[in-house]
Structure 1
């Protein structure tokens, strides 16, 4: 049974009537003084798991967050709820820091955010000794994994929390971790005795789709124009140059987009991130350096134009879509060059053989997800050790099942070409030359090396060039072919001989024919995504848009808030993101219910006491208008 104070905080501060999933048990564990290790997907409600115990237990909850640039936004969101929150980081001047320290020592803060590197400073540790700490929350705990996708060296020092403050409960939280990573987190953070909580990794509102890469810029533009007009979203690219090019391309085609990568100066990055959080309908084109800790609930799509290095990274990045539970899209364009590039990066990466083998295993799992003819969601969940139905009804392979075909003969032709080039000519080439040989093309390079004299010349005319590229890609994915060297030339593997000797069958996913632009498949009736957010009727939709206009007018103008713990300025004056006032999901409920009084408005999820007092009458006025 959850304590009455926890329920009171949930209802009156955060505006919700019930806990989700394992939130209640996690919160009770911390309130009781015990440690917890929590795996919960993005948008699953991780923050409440430490915010509520921090408000219930005596003292201040100390949150270790790696995201200095976002601490102000996190604190502003809590202050809008009436929670007394502050932060300590390098962006503050001396007076701001001293004020926060005084409030902490005086017991006037409910939550205090610090960076892991800041917590390692002796003066910060002495400060925490002078006040009362209710709990330690270690957010983004996967950053402790040394071979993970977001490793932060300062996280390795956080085991000292238990050594220095042994009686203070700790909670480590992450949105993605395999069982091996979970054990590494527990070991490195000295959480051997912690209770483990693993929520479902399923995000049923996200539609996973992986498309064959043909003209990726045009494919992306089609996606945004046909399905996500005016929506906020994130586009991930591998390189800084690609980020700049794609952002410019989108802007030239009438889509508001901003770049984000480490090559931009800090001020530009901070400004672009701030605009993305505060404005509706912006597209952020970024390297994977962007996104961790972003609490924007209405990101409607995440698109990848380059292959992620691991399933963990892919899941973490796609999970930034649809935090509000509304239907959202995770879209990836994937092609042969992605596989070649990733294999080359692994071959030339720093680290020993064990490290490269670990990187290769991560990539293999990602390639298996891309090439599967089964339900993508079930394969994704299986990677994290979670059972799932054979069909989810809301991924591309379920909605438009792909064809598989026996590609053994095609594989033999391709592998024979690579073999003959090496044995008969002592040569190694990339995929393009082998495909030209199979297609019988009379190019300058074919003539130069007299490759038309090879016995395999022209034996592959039964497949299109795009199909041959798919054959190469799938052989690379299955480990039946490899790339090596600076130029990514094709070489055989130990497993290739089993195919050449006809001892192994090679099943492949059929490459789609080039097609005119089409709209994406819709979730079938009864699927989890279709049930995630029922459409509003036309009248309610008009009300919802009116409420969004009110919220935008109140949330997107003005500068940053003057530093103060108890400011009551609305968002327009305070400069907080519009969603900090109310999420879209809350506005939809209001539009559907159309409350006529503050008492009726208080029954809507997400309307706590402080927001009711600040914005309640404005909402009623907007409804009446």
Structure 2
């Protein structure tokens, strides 16, 4: 079996992928694989791990078998290879029997460079018989941490891989790849795959273009909306723990007028695939999902990741956060933490079918994640040290490093809360404690004679919601410990006792959104007009309805429910009741106009601009130059020029691109289009020969 060297690999890097230099770690991994050395590559998300097995596949004889758990993405990966002119395929459960047999025949004929399969495929007799007839040069194991019981995403099906390798007469070169591996996981993988310690390539875990932000004990819905308003037009993922929370967030954010979709394991495969494609193709900018979404998603322009609830492990958190900024652009990763998240994760662990030993391990991993949420050290350095990178410097841009959070002393307020918890002998939860302190007339308080407590009504200037958020903050800062039960009660820690004794002060950090949200003048003026109208009706000065400051906050936050309006400074209960709905109606009208006049990129349709390079491409093409010539002139890739020309075709500035597509392909595309139409490309692609690319479809239909 002939394998070439790094010189040929560098040539492929430039000619096929269009890159002049390898990224950190790529050259070493590729060199080892080409020399026939089994290798474990630990490289962060977005570092180009896939090239580490794709390039050896293109400079080696024989097949490269790629084992991956990502069945839903295999087709997209193969389509991406086809765009590069690389012969690849996938064999999985989505194929018909006829399609599978056809691909197995092509496999035996040596048609493919790369073949993607799930680990479960190694148990299929027909497939295993086919493998015995071909020359396997390399085996790439993607998401290799799934092989380790110490990993955060252990999958028993992965244990088939070392068993299968041990049965082979001639062992192919093995490359295991992962973005997250603690020392325990790394050693486990080495042992299972028999990889020498000197063949482990780890480039570290640092992502210089990511800034990490941690929000503790804050009003999540309010902060989330502020963040999304700030990130208008950006693509991002919001992770939630449960399917119910995902669907609730989806409905909320959809009503706010954002371009959003959602994904979780309870949806049908068809809907999951449709929603995933809408996000990947930028038809929808925001994806709300459980952790069932995202592993291996190769979307380069994700600019923010928000964890709305606490992930179970640091590995899962950093892997999911790492899906931002794959294009190298500055991106933000935001984590909301509230103590009830711990109970949710504990419940999910307890309800799982894992062994008791595995559950204890999961509890330990969860506690490490909670500890991360309480650190005052650099957030990125904390994670890097967790993965074993000891010689690290502070990132300088997480909110712990910047320390921009305003601190307000809350010692007296905290003492009132702690005193109330102590007086009820730690028998009640957050809601009852808040009701006692604000002086609620709730019947349950009278039932337990709690209205007779000295702390009853002690914080009547607060709302129950405000006080609940403050109690969450005190819990997050470990002054209060909720019990692990279905109806958790609040217990005081030693830190709280010290505060009650006057030995320690409490400061609440008011977390700031990093950049100011621009006030929308159109909205502000509409709100001012409504204020004047209401003031005239009441015969009062406009500022007595709401101040300018309050209207400016409304124009930033766009509150469209009474609960959201109540969060605006200057909107009390009476004014909410008297004026709230009138202003909400104004904001709803604005949202409706905005949705109808804005495209999915958040830009007005009449503001789309044709770039200079696009115009140059169209002009050169009209002058008779080829795509290759235009790309060379502009120092752009041929794929970029193709996109310019497709746009020109769509805009009517170019008549036809069919000459770049083989006649038989043109004919087949037109036949399929006559049946399925041109509204979406995927149904067309699914009916065509697998060698026909999306670009070729666009060239023919002009879309």
Give the distance between the partners of 1:259 and 1:416, measured in 2 at CA. Answer: 43
Q: How does 1:141-540 map to 2 (within 5 A)?
A: 141-146=144-149, 148-165=151-168, 166-191=170-195, 195-212=199-216, 214-229=218-233, 231-346=234-349, 351=354, 354-387=357-390, 389-402=392-405, 418=421, 421-422=424-425, 428-437=427-436, 443-452=442-451, 465=467, 466-475=469-478, 481-491=481-491, 496=493, 500=497, 510-512=508-510, 518-519=516-517
Q: CA separation of 1:562/1:467 partners in 2, compared to 1, >3 Å: closer, same or farther?
A: same
Q: CA separation of 1:515/1:396 partners in 2, compared to 1, >3 Å: closer, same or farther?
A: closer
Q: Does 1:104 align with 2:198?
A: no
Equivalent residue for 2:83?
Answer: 80
Question: Contact (CA 8 Å) 1:344, 1:486: kept in 2 or not?
Answer: no
Give the distance between the partners of 1:408 and 1:386, measured in 2 at CA. Answer: 38
Question: Contact (CA 8 Å) 2:215, 2:511: kept in 1 or not?
Answer: no
| Superposed displacement of residue 448, structure 1 | 2.7
Give the distance between the partners of 2:490 and 2:112, measured in 1 at CA. Answer: 61
SS at match of 1:251: helix
Give the distance between the partners of 2:390 and 2:505, measured in 1 at CA. Answer: 25
Task: Summarize deviations over 1:420-474 as a string: whole Å, max 9, x none.
Answer: 534xxxx722233345556676654433323355576678899972433311222
Give the distance between the partners of 2:513 and 2:7, measured in 1 at CA. Answer: 59
Q: Once structures 1 and 2 are overlaid, which stretch shifts more, 388-397 or 361-370? A: 388-397
Q: CA separation of 1:519/1:360 partners in 2, compared to 1, >3 Å: closer, same or farther?
A: farther
From 122, 127, 132, the equivalent of 1:124 is 127
Question: Contact (CA 8 Å) 2:384, 2:392: kept in 1 or not?
Answer: no
Q: Radius of gyration: which is bigger? A: 2
SS at match of 1:570: helix
Q: Once structures 1 and 2 are overlaid, which stretch shifts more, 32-41 or 543-552? A: 543-552
Task: Summarize deviations over 1:370-419 as a string: whole Å, max 9, x none.
Answer: 23333211112222122465532332223343467999998887666555
Q: CA separation of 1:302/1:278 partners in 2, compared to 1, >3 Å: closer, same or farther?
A: same
Q: Does 1:14 align with 2:12?
A: no
**Consecutive unaligned residues in structure 2, runs of 5 or more:** 519-607, 616-639, 651-678
Q: CA separation of 1:141/1:515 partners in 2, compared to 1, >3 Å: closer, same or farther?
A: closer
| Superposed displacement of residue 368, structure 1 | 2.6
Task: Summarize deviations over 1:90-145 as a string: whole Å, max 9, x none.
Answer: 11223322232222212221111111111222222221110010110010112223
| Superposed displacement of residue 500, structure 1 | 4.1
Task: Summarize deviations over 1:470-519 as a string: whole Å, max 9, x none.
Answer: 1122217xxx7342221122346xxx468748999879773317999944
Equivalent residue for 1:616?
Answer: none
Give the distance between the partners of 1:68 and 1:446, measured in 2 at CA. Answer: 54
TM-score, normalising length from structure 2?
A: 0.69
Equivalent residue for 2:695?
Answer: 570
TM-score, normalising length from structure 1?
A: 0.77
Q: Does 1:3 align with 2:2?
A: no
| Superposed displacement of residue 316, structure 1 | 1.2
Give the distance between the partners of 1:433 and 1:453, measured in 2 at CA. Answer: 14
Task: Summarize deviations over 1:589-608 as a string: whole Å, max 9, x none.
Answer: xxxxxxxxxxxxxxxxxxxx
Give the distance between the partners of 1:455 and 1:355, measured in 2 at CA. Answer: 47
Give the distance between the partners of 1:218 and 1:408, measured in 2 at CA. Answer: 25
| Superposed displacement of residue 552, structure 1 | 7.8
Give the distance between the partners of 1:60 and 1:177, measured in 2 at CA. Answer: 28
Give the distance between the partners of 2:89 and 2:359, measured in 1 at CA. Answer: 42
Q: Once structures 1 and 2 are overlaid, which stretch shifts more, 539-548 or 91-100? A: 539-548
Question: Contact (CA 8 Å) 1:37, 1:173: kept in 2 or not?
Answer: yes
Give the distance between the partners of 2:266 and 2:7, measured in 1 at CA. Answer: 50
SS at match of 2:50: helix
| Superposed displacement of residue 314, structure 1 | 0.9
| Superposed displacement of residue 543, structure 1 | 3.9
Q: Once structures 1 and 2 are overlaid, which stretch shifts more, 281-290 or 183-192? A: 183-192
Give the distance between the partners of 1:499 and 1:220, measured in 2 at CA. Answer: 30
| Superposed displacement of residue 214, structure 1 | 4.4
Task: Summarize deviations over 1:540-597 as a string: whole Å, max 9, x none.
Answer: 9944787797388499952325554644662544999x9xxxxxxxxxxxxxxxxxxx
Q: How does 1:59-74 map to 2 (within 5 A)?
A: 59-74=62-77
Q: Size of the alignment, in residue pairs?
A: 549
Equivalent residue for 2:621?
Answer: none
Q: How does 1:538-553 map to 2 (within 5 A)?
A: 542-543=611-612, 550=644, 553=647
Give the distance between the partners of 2:112 and 2:302, measured in 1 at CA. Answer: 31
Q: CA separation of 1:192/1:125 partners in 2, compared to 1, >3 Å: closer, same or farther?
A: farther
Q: CA separation of 1:193/1:377 partners in 2, compared to 1, >3 Å: closer, same or farther?
A: closer
SS at match of 1:510: strand
Give the distance between the partners of 1:304 and 1:108, measured in 2 at CA. Answer: 43
SS at match of 1:560: helix
Give the RMSD, CA atoms, in angstroms.
3.9
From 49, 53, 57, the equivalent of 1:50 is 53
| Superposed displacement of residue 217, structure 1 | 3.6
Q: CA separation of 1:129/1:346 partners in 2, compared to 1, >3 Å: closer, same or farther?
A: closer
Q: Does 1:30 align with 2:33?
A: yes
Q: CA separation of 1:458/1:221 partners in 2, compared to 1, >3 Å: closer, same or farther?
A: closer
Question: Contact (CA 8 Å) 2:33, 2:173: kept in 1 or not?
Answer: yes
Equivalent residue for 2:528?
Answer: none
Give the distance between the partners of 2:320 and 2:209, measured in 1 at CA. Answer: 15
| Superposed displacement of residue 34, structure 1 | 1.2
| Superposed displacement of residue 21, structure 1 | 1.0
| Superposed displacement of residue 284, structure 1 | 1.6
**Consecutive unaligned residues in structure 1, runs of 5 or more:** 521-538, 579-625
